[in-house]
A and B are shown apart, each in its own frame.
Chain A
Amino acid sequence: MLISLWRRVREARRLPLLPLVMLLVVLVIPAVFAPLIAPHSPVEGNLNDRLLPPFWVGETIGYKTVVEKVNRENRLNEILLKDAERRIKIGDGTITGGGQIVQVGDQLEILFRKEGSTKYLLGTDKNGMDIFSRLIYGARLALVVSLLGIVVSGILGSSLGIIAGYYGGIWDTIIMRLVDISLSISLVLIALVLAAVRGPSIDNVLIVICLFLWSRYARLIRGETLLLKSQDFIARAQVSGASDLRIMYKHIMPNLANTIIVLATLQIGFVIILEASLSFLGAGVPRPNPAWGLMVADGRELLSNAWWVSLVPTVAIVLTVLSINLLGDWVRDRLDPKQRQI
């Protein structure tokens, strides 16, 4: 029934429902209501609860450590043993970290069992932080970072693009060479250097995003401006004595609005992916911020024994970017169908 409903909605060419719902569920609602939804703090963990699986995952034997009887000479494993002996004495079979002690002859075997529980819906990471809560606060971060990055680079890039297109000549040359330069430098490396200079920070990520994106706006907008400039109504405005600023603001800008909105929508996904790549290289959002990219990057080597640490945020990223791109496509078809090449 749902499918037929969905089909009808789609064929009515109304708002694309599924991506929209998906976006609301994964990104917007968590971002807005984060403190209300999140059961735990996104930046505080408990080492005793590290790497617990999501609630639906049953018992998994995490690891087994065999401790020999205390050997004063080598002073090994003492805290572990003291703790174990104490627990055995009080008849409690478990030790910190969810381990279970089994006595085999002279040896103590400590079996660490990891079991999912509803306390941590989507499990915990290496710090023992709740992944669900981090995911929710991460949505907020993703939204803020990508919107800020896009707005700043959009304003900067569009203004420069209009100036280049409208004035032409030396302005055009300078701005377009700047575009060339920014496209030619490997900005991933610049991000790495920035992280080394200033320490990883959200500011750095924003700077790199802006450096990445402004040139794309500038390029596109310049081309559009060139086309607009040759049209009659601009010439008429010039003849009627309107100032350049006024022409750019009153006549060109409104005609570019659609293009800018389309480009901006399509870039959000790209920004989220970029942030993840920067985190992978160690130049992204600093710990312990709950950035999705950081969560994926920090759990990447755990794929085979604690897959949830990186897979859960990966799914969040994929779903978000997917639905944003779908929405972006729809927006473009609606507002600016000729910009298919974006």
Chain B
Amino acid sequence: MKLSVLRNPAVLISILLMFLVACGSDSTTPTKAEPAAKPAAKTSSAAPTAKPKAADKAPVVQDNRTDKSLHVVITPMPQDTYLPWKASQSGHLVFRPIIENPATIKPETGVSKIYPQLFTSWEISADGQDYSFQIREGVRFHDDQWGEFTVDDFIYNVDSSTQEGSLTGCAASYKAFMGADSATQMKANGDLKVTDDYNFTMHLARPQVDLLSWWMNVLMVPCAQSFSSAQFAAEGESMYETGPSGTGAYQFTSRVLNEYAEMERVPYDHWRVNPDFKTLKISTVPEEATRLAMLLAGEADLADLSKAIHDSATEKGMVVFESPLPAVGLTILPLGQYQVSKVNYNPDAEPWTQTGETGRLVREAMNRAIDRAPIVNNLFKGRGVPMYNTTFHQTLEGWNDRWEEEFEAKYGYDPELAKKLLDQAGYPGDSNGNNRFKIEVRQSSLPGLPEVIEVAQTVMQSLQAVGIDAYIKETEFGKALEEFRDRHDAHYLLPVRQTIRPLAANMRIYYYTGPIDAEKGRPTRGVLYMESPIADRVYEQMLSETDMDIRHKISQELGDYIYDEYQTIPVVNIKATIVGNPDVVEDYSFGGVTGVFFNMENIKAAR
């Protein structure tokens, strides 16, 4: 072939066309600006996670039913299954509109306040071990033949999630506080007493004052749902694939794994809410550019997009809906502190793992070296809120206002001070104050938090600026997780995504090492953030404490320890966002503190 190709107009035109395709979008004028941020909810700080007695307000069923359909596109989770107990986190988003739970939360108050849903009221004894529950009467299943939701259905759903081979996150915890392998067994033991179809009592094996929060659908665990036990008895496991009957405001239409799920509004008046949209389709689309294209082409009405491309959508008239409260946090862990298990633990191995003054100075210096303002302002575009302490949140128990007030003084950006602190800690580096010590910064993309890539990059540069020899290593998060959960020789900075959950749940997940395994001579639980005797003690005390004020004080101790010892590098709390087409969707209030798109039945249709 000859070189005359380049003389060819077609080549030039094609190249030109490519330019046009990309540049042209730039010239379109913004048609509709994003509306002003919705007034944020007022939240009470440090509210108890469980209400001793919840009053049942008669629900006001509003009715704006339309014949419209709604199409939501989201990022696929790596797991997807028809069987609710076969997945840890994923397969549940698509279940959410068709099921309900004993209790729920509202977007404005987040997990700080629990509202009744399928249960109308509950009472806890003073020692936190005896519960009595009342189930809402007249909640019917989608398919008329399975009757109403009763205590049998509740027992079936708990059994389902604790069964053998369960991959749910709740099985082990359920078994622990139930003192039995299943609710049925608990009933046989006499710890669960059924008064009638709608009333029952439970005697727990250990105090569990936040029991109700385990029964909500927003903790990313698929537990205590509302599938029909009668249907299961009649159809077996296959019902989950062909059409599970739930109690939610949408009923199952069809579903293909890892592709889409379709639902339709129940044909009768739902006890709680009549959704605006007649049908609801949730599709999973892996490529973000494709989700954006679908939204702009009018194929999707709500799309899960990262903040970096919100502009692309809003310039074309799309609207960003954000959760009233921050949903997830981004924090950076200086790993390697296995103080309890002592596995792979060598406090002198790295400057930041040292005990006492030295380690603290180093960690403070790292905190001081990082300028959080550009991260909050530019990266998260005003949807970020500064995080003052890891794991703790303003709206939850254990919060101490001091952390916020002193933040500027204790954590504020000051590279010169950082250098001095490092000198003081004994890491003066070379004559120019460089090469003080090496530190690896792990970079891995986290689902729902793509900005973590840029954060890791910024952190690396900030540390380099104060003379720390920081470098980036890119790993898949699963690989990093495996390493530090098994207490490998994991000594690096790891930016992680932190879901804001009730404090006790988060403490269990992130800090609690558990009883010592006699055989191996080390704690039974893998640990995620850090090990500390203080964390273990605080968690165990919290479990048995039912007085909310005392719990608050106890948990503050751990918060103070993490804060004053600079155990982590808190960065930012982020509001969850979803981008929608204002011609179809008027409003969607979601997320609360967990960031999950949960109450899809409440999405308002545009008129």
Contact = CB atoms under 8 A, between A and B. Distances in A.
Q: Are A and B direct contacts in the complex by CB distance below 8 Å? A: yes
Interface of A: 3, 6, 10, 16, 18-19, 44-48, 50-51, 57, 60-68, 71, 73-80, 83, 95-97, 99, 107, 110, 126-127, 195-196, 199-200, 282, 286-288, 300-305, 307, 311, 314-315, 318, 326, 329-330
A57 B394 CA distance: 43
A107 B36 contact: yes
Interface residues of B, number: 68
Interface of A is mostly: mixed
A197 B315 CA distance: 41
A307 B457 contact: no
Interface string B487-501: 000000000000000
Interface in B371-389: 372-379, 381-382, 385-386
B314 interface: yes
Interface in B444-502: 445, 453-454, 457-458, 461, 472-476, 478-479
B43 interface: yes
Contacts of B472: 286-288
B312 interface: yes
A301 B288 contact: yes
A318 B15 contact: yes
A311 B20 CA distance: 11
Interface string B157-200: 00000000000000000000000000000000000000000000
Contacts of B312: 301-305
Contacts of A61: 30
Contact of A307 (B3, B7, B26, B445): B26
A107 B7 CA distance: 57
Interface stretch (B89-97, B303-311, B342-350, B559-567): B303-311
Given A195-B476, A288-B457, A300 B289 contact: yes
12 contacts: A50-B379, A51-B308, A64-B34, A68-B37, A74-B40, A77-B37, A77-B385, A80-B376, A80-B377, A96-B374, A199-B473, A199-B474
B39 interface: yes
B570 to A, nearest CB: 13
A287 B457 contact: yes
A127 B454 contact: yes
B308 A96 contact: no
A183 to B, nearest CB: 26
Contacts of B26: 57, 60, 305, 307
A10 B42 contact: no
B12 to A, nearest CB: 12
A85 B205 CA distance: 55
A303 B22 contact: yes
B515 to A, nearest CB: 33
Contact of B292 (A66, A282, A304): A304
B377 A96 contact: yes
B442 to A, nearest CB: 9
A46 B373 CA distance: 12
B22 A311 contact: yes
B306 A301 contact: yes
Nearest to B1: A329
B18 interface: yes
B509 interface: no
Nearest to B382: A65
Q: Which 5 A-B pairs have the closest CB atoms?
A: A307-B22, A74-B40, A47-B374, A65-B382, A286-B474
A17 to B, nearest CB: 8
Given A61-B30, A77-B385, A95-B377, 5 more contacts: A48-B378, A97-B378, A127-B458, A301-B288, A330-B3
Contacts of B36: 66, 68, 107
A330 B7 CA distance: 16
Given A80-B382, A288-B472, A326 B377 contact: no
Given A110-B382, A304-B315, A45 B377 contact: no
A302 B37 contact: no
Nearest to A66: B36
Interface in B515-562: none
B6 interface: yes
Nearest to A47: B374
B41 interface: yes
Contact of B373 (A3, A66, A79): A79
